[in-house]
Amino acid sequence: MTGDNDLVRDRRVQYETAGLDISDVDHSPVAQWHRWHEEAAEAGLVEPNAMTVSTVDATGMPDGRIVLAREVSESGITFFTNFNSAKSEQINSSGNASAVFGWLALHRQVRVTGSVERISDAESDAYFSSRPRGSQIGAWASPQSEVIESRQTLESLVADVEAQFHDKEVTRPPFWGGWRIIPVRWEFWQGRPSRLHDRIQYVPSEQEWVRQRLAP
Ligand SMILES: Cc1cc2nc3c(=O)[nH]c(=O)nc-3n(C[C@H](O)[C@H](O)[C@H](O)COP(=O)(O)O)c2cc1C
């Protein structure tokens, strides 16, 4: 065990990548996010739209998990999930969430905090209908975040849903759809040598975002 932890403690990577100045980042955090997302995809990073969404429960206990961002636009950051899941309950009670994109191979991180709203049924329908049939069936079958007896339990739930929709289009379950995080703060972090990293945050002011440098 001690040896394993020595490996973790002594692991150091020098970040030699180019720096990030206020003049380098776009006026729009959304445009800046797309620029970095594209570079992450071009660099061959796995699931460059994956983000850790953190929420707190009614007692203030934080919780986090990875989900896939399906839209990043001026309206916010949208992801899809089960509305009865633990994360959805936490969003219902607190109304807020954070999201972190970690593009570690590029020594980059983007952090967002904001309020969360449900997207419209029409938007959720449109996205659901674009999903592969297996994922559509899975959305109906899985009581996400609930304790289940076994893998077999899940597989028999899937078989039931398959029988129900046999030869039919799978419609969106009413308990499944999109949440949109509406950012009140964005931060773009670029790793630099000697831990003197660059951090540029965007905070709202009147009609526009103000960009500021933060100490690393
Ligand atoms: C790469 C990756 C992508 C994921 N994408 C989603 C997603 O888009 N939606 C989702 O509900 N869960 C997604 N998950 C599963 C979640 O991390 C989590 O297990 C699930 O949503 C239940 O979380 P909860 O119990 O906190 O609600 C993903 C997991 C990984 C590792």
163 part of a folded domain: no
* pTM higher than the cut 0.75: yes
Given a contact cutoff of 8 angstroms between Cβ atoms, the answer to whether 99 and 181 are in contact is yes
Q: What is the CATH number of the domain that holds 24?
A: 2.30.110.10
Label residue 1 by pLDDT band (50, 70, 90).
Answer: low
Nearest CA to ligand 1 atom 12: 67
Atom nearest to 89 CA in ligand 1: 27
What would the two tokens of residue 84 be?
A: 């009865």
147 part of a folded domain: no
Q: How many domains does the chain have?
A: 1
Ligand 1 pocket list (CB less than 6 A) = 47, 50, 63, 65-68, 79-81, 85-87, 144-145
7 part of a folded domain: no
63 part of a folded domain: yes
**Best CA proximity match to 82, nearest among 93, 71, 90:** 90
pLDDT (tens digit, 9 = 90+) per residue, 164-212?
999 999 999 999 999 999 999 999 999 998 889 999 999 999 889 999 9
The number of helices, as runs of H, and strands, as runs of E, in the chain is 6, 8
149 part of a folded domain: no
Atom nearest to 47 CA in ligand 1: 1
User: What single letter denotes the amino acid at residue 63?
Assistant: D
Nearest CA to ligand 1 atom 10: 81
pLDDT the model gives residue 86:
98
Query: How far is residue 11's CA from residue 109's CA, in Å, rounded to a whole number?
Result: 19
169 part of a folded domain: no
Q: Output the CA 50–ligand 1 centroid distance in Å.
A: 10
Query: Which residues carry out catalysis?
Result: 195
Name the phi and psi angles at 165, rounded to 5. Answer: -100, 15
Residue 2 to residues 10, 11, 99, Cα–Cα distance (Å)? 12, 14, 33
Nearest CA to ligand 1 atom 3: 67
pLDDT (tens digit, 9 = 90+) per residue, 130-171?
999 999 999 999 999 999 999 999 999 999 999 999 999 999
166 part of a folded domain: no
190 part of a folded domain: yes
User: What is the domain range of residue 36?
Assistant: 15-131+174-214
**Best CA proximity match to 68, nearest among 25, 109, 91, 99:** 99
Given a contact cutoff of 8 angstroms between Cβ atoms, the answer to whether 88 and 179 are in contact is yes
Query: How far is residue 180's CA from residue 41's CA, in Å, rounded to a whole number?
Result: 23
| DSSP state for residue 10 in the 8-state scheme | T
Nearest CA to ligand 1 atom 7: 67
Helices 133-141 and 151-164, axial angle in degrees (round to 10): 120
3-state secondary structure of 157: helix
Atom nearest to 65 CA in ligand 1: 17
